[in-house]
Structure 1
Amino acid sequence: MKNQLNCPQNLKLWAVIPAAGSGSRFSKSELKQYQVIQNKTVLEHTVLRLNSLPLSGYVLAIGEQDNFAKTIAFEALEKAHFCLGGSERVNSVLNALNYLSQIASEEDWVLVHDAARPCVTQDSLIQLVNAAAASGQSAILAIPVRDTLKSVETGAEISKTVDRSKLWQAQTPQMAKLGVLKHAIEQALLAQVSITDEASALEHLSEPVQVVPGRSDNIKITYPDDLELAKLILASQQSAI
């Protein structure tokens, strides 16, 4: 049986989708979020998945030269908002949070999700929201590290095997209250802390963040091979419905 959303009716959910990256590891000339799978762009699939939740709205942080995003007929287009992205992912997220601050409450919840992560399931999204709403704490989807990890400090020589028993691989969405997340990112930037995801900014201020077990098929499209894998995952997920 599928999980049901168990959160107060007055709880407001918003999504932030940073989509201003250059995607240089995917292609020097093409943006991964605009590659097409089953007649939809990757970004459309991502927005479609997020809209399986009762969102109050979603904000797409796009590049200054992006003239395509606003022409797409996204799911729940009436809930779509756009803002200018930044030079790095963290800057795009902060710009979107600043935009949201004008139309949302600091106590509203925000789910930050990678534009090129189109395979997240509704069940995983519901589990994430339920966990955050029940605890009142920030939460992220993550999976335990499965493979043996090696530390290589110089050249190609292994220096040691890393204990993976307590290691988790972070995914998105990552969920926090708007005011808490905005403040955490601002403070981390001021302190020049390396912010690789939203949780790292929250950790900098010792804000508790819990992991919610995700799924290994919630992949992020980074390289061209990932696009082919995403096609297979989406087809498999749809055939299982």
Structure 2
Amino acid sequence: MSSHKSQPMHNKLWVVIPAAGSGRRFSQSELKQYQLLDHKTVLEHTVERLNGLALAGYVLAVAPDDDVVSTLALAAAEKAHFCAGGKERVDSVLNALNYLTQIADENDWVLVHDAARPCVTLAALHALVDKAIETDQAAILAIPVRDTLKLVQTEDLISNTVSRESLWQAQTPQMAKLGVLKQAIEQALQDNQVITDEASALEYVGHPVIVVQGRSDNIKITYPDDLQLARLITRSQA
């Protein structure tokens, strides 16, 4: 593990992990965050990685009927907080931010990270935190698009090739001040905007967001074969 130390902060650092989704692309019956990666669940790996940072705490937004999360050996369990998740990912994130407003300052930093991204490295986490603090701006991990992109609109036919120049693939964590992010999401939802990630809400309200280059191994487990890839990545990182 890297010995790198993030820059000192006057404001605390929190993590929000939306973990209430059904994950239907992975399975109709099994939640991807509770699949095993070498004797630990995906979520346990994810929480352990995030706690490599000096967190004040982390909030898991889980389904009201979730009876698994309470049985897990979560890293830094004394820092764990729980709230009810929502119908969509953005609803879960907003619920967690509302929870945080009761125990955190609006100028504290919040990282929102997918429950099913267990391979994020500590070095990437520090790079993100350092950049956000240094610039006092929201920031996200992302990687430049490498492959040729095709626009397919009807009947699996290619309409045209899309230039990949200046295109980046967003990852998580995505980091912003608590008050700024909460207000951005609330405004975007009020205006019926489609919010696919935290950055899209911040972009909508005109708040600058910086891209910090991440790593291609920071994969999100979406389909069943992603689980095997995540096993290979975590083993190689170890």
TM-score bin, normalised by smaller chain:
over 0.9
Asked if the contact 1:46/1:117 (under 8 Å) is kept, the reply is: yes
Shift of 1:160: 1.0
Q: What CA distance in whole angstroms lies between the structure 2 residues aligned with 1:27 and 1:234?
A: 22
Shift of 1:2: 4.6
Shift of 1:158: 1.2
SS of residue matched to 1:125: helix
How do 1:28-177 residues align onto structure 2 when only pairs under 5 Å count?
28-177=28-177
Question: Residue 217 of structure 2 aligns with which residue?
Answer: 217
SS of residue matched to 1:140: strand
SS of residue matched to 1:189: helix
Asked if the contact 1:19/1:61 (under 8 Å) is kept, the reply is: yes
Shift of 1:148: 0.2
1:196 alignment partner AA: T
- Report the RMSD for the aligned CA atoms in angstroms: 1.1
Question: Residue 26 of structure 2 aligns with which residue?
Answer: 26
Q: What CA distance in whole angstroms lies between the structure 1 residues aligned with 2:11 and 2:179?
A: 15
Q: What CA distance in whole angstroms lies between the structure 2 residues aligned with 1:94 and 1:36?
A: 28
Per-residue CA deviations over 1:183-213 (Å, capped at 9, x if unaligned) read 0000000000000000000000010001000
Per-residue CA deviations over 1:6-28 (Å, capped at 9, x if unaligned) read 42342310000000000111011
Per-residue CA deviations over 1:59-114 (Å, capped at 9, x if unaligned) read 00000110111221200000000000000000000000000000000000000000
Q: What CA distance in whole angstroms lies between the structure 2 residues aligned with 1:75 and 1:6?
A: 20
Shift of 1:153: 1.9
Paired residues, number: 238
TM-score normalised by length of structure 1: 0.97
Q: What CA distance in whole angstroms lies between the structure 2 residues aligned with 1:161 and 1:30?
A: 36
Q: What CA distance in whole angstroms lies between the structure 2 residues aligned with 1:225 and 1:154?
A: 27
Asked if the contact 2:2/2:122 (under 8 Å) is kept, the reply is: no
TM-score normalised by length of structure 2: 0.98
Q: What CA distance in whole angstroms lies between the structure 1 residues aligned with 2:3 and 2:159?
A: 44
Unmatched runs of 5 consecutive residues or more in structure 1? none
Question: Residue 237 of structure 2 aligns with which residue?
Answer: 237
How do 1:181-220 residues align onto structure 2 when only pairs under 5 Å count?
181-220=181-220
Asked if the contact 1:83/1:96 (under 8 Å) is kept, the reply is: yes
Asked if the contact 1:5/1:129 (under 8 Å) is kept, the reply is: no
Moved runs in structure 1, 4+ residues, more than 4 A?
none
Asked if the contact 1:3/1:126 (under 8 Å) is kept, the reply is: no
Question: Residue 5 of structure 2 aligns with which residue?
Answer: 5
Unmatched runs of 5 consecutive residues or more in structure 2? none
SS of residue matched to 1:22: coil
Q: What CA distance in whole angstroms lies between the structure 1 residues aligned with 2:112 and 2:91?
A: 13
Shift of 1:3: 7.0
Asked if the contact 1:5/1:130 (under 8 Å) is kept, the reply is: no
SS of residue matched to 2:185: helix
Q: What CA distance in whole angstroms lies between the structure 2 residues aligned with 1:106 and 1:113?
A: 19
Identity, % of aligned positions: 68
